[in-house]
C-alpha cells in the first residue's frame, strides 16, 4: 500500500518488492523513512534510474513571478524615502520569518531522524529554551526594529513648517486634488492625478465628504485613511522621477476597485514649469467643442479653467488630455474611451454619480470627446 | 520580607496577580501618553519626563511580577515535583496552582517588556 506513493524508497535491499517498513514513525525517528540519494544507491538501485526531474528544476519557472514585484504600483520597488523603509522592514521581517521557518523545519527533520529519544529533562530544557526563550528574544528584536523604524516610515513635522501642501479628497469614486499656496489658498484644482517634485517632502492633507477612503501610493509610502469629518496628514518624499499609480485602499462602494490615480514624480524644474502652466491654463482653442460641452450642461458639474465651466461636483477637467486615464484609472486615455464614458458612465464604472448621455447624437459625443482629449 | 509574606498561600488571588499587574501597567502607559498628548502638556513637561516616569512604572510592574513569580515558585515547591499535578489531592492542587501562576507570571513579564519597547522609540506627540 505504501509502495504506491513512493516506489523507489520502499524497495528493500535485495530489490524485491518487499514488505514496506511498518516502523515508519516519523516522530520518534525509529525508522528512517527520509532517505538521501546515496542510501538509495546503496540499496542496489542506481541513481540514474531515478526520475531526472527534481523539484528544484521548477524553480526557474517561478522566476517570472518575481517580475510582479516591480512596477508602477509595487511597495517592493520603492521610489520614495518612506517606501524604501517600508520595503526594508518587509524584507527584514521576511528574512526573519524564513530563518525561523527553516529552524522549525530543521527541528522537525531532526526529530524524525533521531534514533534515541531525548531524556525527559533534556526535552524539557529544549522546550523552555527553544519554545519559550528563543521566540521571546527574536520577537523582541523584530518588534524593536519595527518600532525603531516607525518614525522614518511616518515622519512628522508639526503643523506649519513650510512644506508644500496638496489637499486630496476621496470622492465616490475619484480623487479631487487641490494644490495649496503658501498662504493657504487653493492655487488650482485637478483630479485623478497627483504631481510631486522629487527630493522634497510634500504634505498630503487627506479628507473625504462621503465614506472612508484610503490614499495609497505604494511606491512612495504607506497608506492613510481619508475619514469624513477629519483631516489626516501624510508626508511623502519621492526620490526617483517617474510615473506611478496610486489606489484607494479602503472599500468605499461598487467602484472601489476602479478608483486609481496617476502619480508623476517630476524633476523640480519640470514641476515648477507645470505649476506655472496650470496657474494660467487657457481653456483650449477648440471653441466649437467648448460650446458643445457647455450647451449640454457638462459645466454644471465639471470645471475647465479659463472657461465658463465652473462646476465642482465632478472632477475638474482642465488639461484633461494630459491625464493618464479615463474615469480614475478605469480606461486608457483615448478618444473612443472618453466617448464611451460620456455615453454611459455607469456601464464603465458602476454607481458613478455622472448620469448617462446616450440621448446625445454620436457625432456630438465624439466631438466632446475630441475636445476633452485635446485639452492641454 | 518573611514578616509580611505569608508562609502558605492557598488562594486563587495569587493566580491573577501577574496578569492584573500587566493590565494596570498597560492602562497606565496608554492613558498617561494619551492624556499628555491630548491636553498638549508638551510645552510644560518634556516627553522624556513622561518616558522616564513610565520607565519607573515599568520597573515597579516587573518587580511585582517577579515577586509573584517567586511566590509561585515557592508554592510549586521550587520545582521539586514535575507537572501535570493531576492527582485528586490537596498537595497536587497546590502545586498545580503554583505552576500555573509561575507560567502566567512569565507571560506577564514578557508582555510588560513588549509594552515598554515602543515607549523607548516614540518620538513625540502628533496631533
CA angle at A29 for the pair A28 and A30, rounded to the nearest 5°: 90
pLDDT for the residue B127? 57
pLDDT one-digit tens code per residue, A4-42:
344 333 333 344 444 444 444 444 444 444 444 444 444
Element (H, E) at A237: strand A232-237
Q: Which of chain B's residues have a Cβ under 8 Å away from the Cβ of A151?
A: 121, 123
Chain A residues touching residue B110 (CB < 8 angstroms): 136
Cβ distance of A147 and B123 shorter than 8 Å = no
Report the alpha-carbon distance of residue A219 to residue A81 in Å, rounded: 9
Whether B123 and A143 lie within 8 Å, measured CB to CB: no
Please judge whether B114 and A140 are an interchain contact, meaning their C-beta atoms are less than 8 angstroms apart: yes
Kindly tell me if the per-residue pLDDT of A67 is higher than 70.
no
Quote the DSSP letter at residue A51: -
Instruction: Give the pLDDT score at A266.
Output: 93
Q: pLDDT band at residue A152, thresholds of 50, 70 and 90?
A: confident
Shortest Cα distance, chain A CAs vs residue B121, angstroms:
6
What CA–CA distances, in Å, run from A79 to A166, A179, A199, A272, A326? 19, 22, 11, 20, 25
CA distance B2 to chain A (A): 30
Average pLDDT value for chain A: 82
Residues of A in contact with B106 (CB under 8 A): 132
Torsion of CA A77, A82, A88, A90, to 10 degrees: -80
Question: What would the pLDDT profile of A76-98 be if each residue is shown by its tens digit?
Answer: 889 999 999 999 999 999 998 89
Give residue A17's pLDDT.
41
Instruction: Tell me which of A183-187, A196-200, A324-328, B6-10 is least confident.
Output: B6-10
- Which residue, among B33, B69, B83, B110, would best test binding to A if mutated, counting the most A CBs under 10 Å from its CB? B110
Tell me: pLDDT of A327 over 90: no
Say whether pLDDT at A376 is over 90.
no
Confidence band (pLDDT; 50, 70, 90) for B6? Answer: low
* Predicted confidence (pLDDT) at residue A198 exceeds the cutoff of 60: yes
More confident residue, A158 or A183: A183
Q: What pLDDT does residue B16 have?
A: 86
B127 shares contact with chain A (CB less than 8 Å): yes
Question: What pLDDT score was predicted for residue B87?
Answer: 80
Using CB atoms, which residue from B110, B117, B123 is nearest to A144? B117
Q: Which of B113, B114, B121 sits opposite A150 (nearest CB)?
A: B121
pLDDT confidence of residue A245: 93
pLDDT in tens, A215-274: 999 999 999 999 999 999 899 999 999 999 999 999 999 999 999 999 999 999 999 999
* pLDDT (average), residues B99-113: 93
Q: Which residues of A33-43 are buried (b: 16+ CB within 10 A; e: fewer)?
A: beeeeeebeee
Going along chain A from its start, the domains and CATH numbers come out as: 1-65 (no CATH), 164-279 (2.60.40.420), 287-373 (2.60.40.420)
Closest Cα in chain A, distance from residue B114 (Å): 7
Say if B3 is an interface residue toward chain A (CB within 8 Å). no
Summarised one tens digit per residue, pLDDT across range A293-315 is 999 999 999 999 888 888 999 99
The set of cell numbers assigned to B37 is 498628548
Nearest CA in chain A to B123: A151
**B12 lies within 8 A of chain A by CB:** no
Residue of B nearest to A139 (CA): B114
ipTM confidence score: 0.83
Q: Contact, B123 vs A156, CB < 8 A?
A: yes
Q: How far apart are CA A18 and CA A30, in angstroms?
A: 19
- As a whole-number percent, the residues of chain A with pLDDT over 90 amount to 43
Q: What's the pLDDT tens digit per position in B30-63?
A: 999 999 988 877 778 888 888 999 999 999 999 9
| A interface residues, B as partner, C-beta within 8 Å | 132, 136, 139-140, 143-144, 147-148, 150-151, 156, 159
Beta carbons of A326 and A341 less than 8 angstroms apart? yes
- pLDDT, tens digit (0-9, with 9 covering 90-100), for B76-95: 877 777 778 888 888 888 88
**Cβ atoms A230, A212 nearer than 8 A:** no
Distance CA B88, CA A364 (A): 91
B43 touches chain A (CB under 8 A): no
Where b means 16+ CB within 10 Å and e means fewer, A150-169 reads beebbbeeeeeeeebbbbbb
Interface touch A159/B127, C-beta < 8 Å: yes
Establish if B84 touches chain A: CB-CB under 8 angstroms: no
Check: pTM over 0.80? Answer yes or no.
Answer: no
Q: What pLDDT, in 10s, does the model give residues A166-187?
A: 999 999 999 999 999 888 888 8
Interchain proximity A148–B121, CB inside 8 Å:
yes
Amino acid at each position: 500500500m505504501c509502495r504506491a506513493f513512493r516506489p523507489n524508497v520502499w524497495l528493500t535491499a535485495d530489490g524485491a518488492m518487499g514488505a514496506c517498513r511498518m516502523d515508519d514513525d516519523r516522530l520518534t525517528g525509529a525508522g528512517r523513512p527520509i532517505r538521501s540519494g546515496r542510501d538509495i544507491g546503496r540499496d542496489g538501485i542506481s541513481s540514474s534510474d531515478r526520475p531526472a526531474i527534481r523539484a528544484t528544476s521548477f524553480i526557474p519557472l517561478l522566476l517570472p513571478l518575481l517580475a510582479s514585484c516591480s512596477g508602477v504600483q509595487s511597495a517592493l520597488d520603492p521610489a520614495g524615502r518612506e517606501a524604501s523603509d517600508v520595503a526594508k522592514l518587509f524584507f527584514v521581517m521576511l528574512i526573519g520569518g524564513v530563518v525561523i521557518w527553516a529552524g522549525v523545519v530543521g527541528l522537525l527533520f531532526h526529530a524524525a531522524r533521531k534514533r534515541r529519544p531525548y531524556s525527559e529533562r533534556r526535552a524539557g530544557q529544549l522546550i523552555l529554551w527553544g519554545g519559550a526563550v528563543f521566540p521571546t528574544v527574536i520577537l523582541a528584536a523584530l518588534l524593536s526594529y519595527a518600532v525603531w523604524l516607525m518614525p522614518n516610515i511616518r515622519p512628522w513635522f508639526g503643523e506649519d513648517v513650510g512644506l508644500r501642501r496638496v489637499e486630496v479628497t476621496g470622492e465616490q469614486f475619484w480623487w479631487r486634488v487641490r494644490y495649496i499656496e503658501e498662504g493657504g489658498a487653493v492655487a488650482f484644482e485637478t483630479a485623478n492625478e497627483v504631481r510631486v517634485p522629487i527630493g522634497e517632502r510634500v504634505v498630503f492633507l487627506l479628507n473625504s465628504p462621503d465614506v472612508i477612503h484610503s490614499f495609497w501610493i505604494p511606491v512612495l509610502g504607506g497608506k492613510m485613511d481619508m475619514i469624513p469629518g477629519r483631516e489626516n496628514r501624510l508626508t511623502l518624499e519621492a526620490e526617483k522621477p517617474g510615473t506611478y499609480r496610486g489606489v484607494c485602499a479602503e472599500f468605499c462602494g461598487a467602484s472601489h476597485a476602479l478608483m486609481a490615480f496617476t502619480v508623476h514624480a517630476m524633476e523640480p524644474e519640470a514641476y515648477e514649469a507645470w505649476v506655472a502652466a496650470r496657474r494660467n491654463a487657457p481653456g483650449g482653442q477648440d471653441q466649437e467643442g467648448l460650446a458643445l460641452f457647455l450647451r449640454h450642461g457638462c459645466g454644471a458639474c465639471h470645471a475647465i479653467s479659463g472657461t465658463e465651466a465652473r462646476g465642482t461636483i465632478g472632477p475638474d477637467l482642465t488639461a484633461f488630455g494630459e491625464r493618464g486615464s479615463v474615469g480614475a484609472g478605469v480606461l486608457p486615455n483615448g478618444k473612443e474611451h472618453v466617448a464611451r464614458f460620456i455615453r454611459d458612465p455607469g456601464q464603465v464604472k458602476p454607481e458613478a454619480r455622472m448620469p448617462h448621455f446616450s440621448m446625445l447624437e454620436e457625432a456630438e459625443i465624439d466631438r466632446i470627446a475630441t475636445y476633452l482629449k485635446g485639452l492641454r | 520580607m518573611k514578616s509580611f509574606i505569608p508562609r502558605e498561600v492557598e488562594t486563587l488571588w495569587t493566580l491573577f496577580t501577574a496578569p492584573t499587574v500587566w493590565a494596570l501597567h498597560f492602562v497606565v502607559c496608554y492613558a498617561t501618553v494619551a492624556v499628555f498628548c491630548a491636553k498638549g502638556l508638551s510645552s510644560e513637561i518634556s516627553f522624556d519626563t513622561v518616558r522616564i516616569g513610565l520607565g519607573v512604572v515599568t520597573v515597579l510592574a516587573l518587580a511585582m511580577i517577579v515577586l509573584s513569580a517567586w511566590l509561585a515558585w515557592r508554592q510549586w515547591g521550587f520545582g521539586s515535583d514535575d507537572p501535570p499535578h493531576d492527582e485528586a489531592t490537596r498537595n497536587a492542587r497546590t502545586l498545580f496552582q503554583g505552576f500555573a501562576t509561575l507560567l502566567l507570571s512569565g507571560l506577564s513579564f514578557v508582555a510588560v517588556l513588549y509594552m515598554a519597547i515602543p515607549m523607548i522609540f516614540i518620538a513625540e506627540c502628533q496631533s
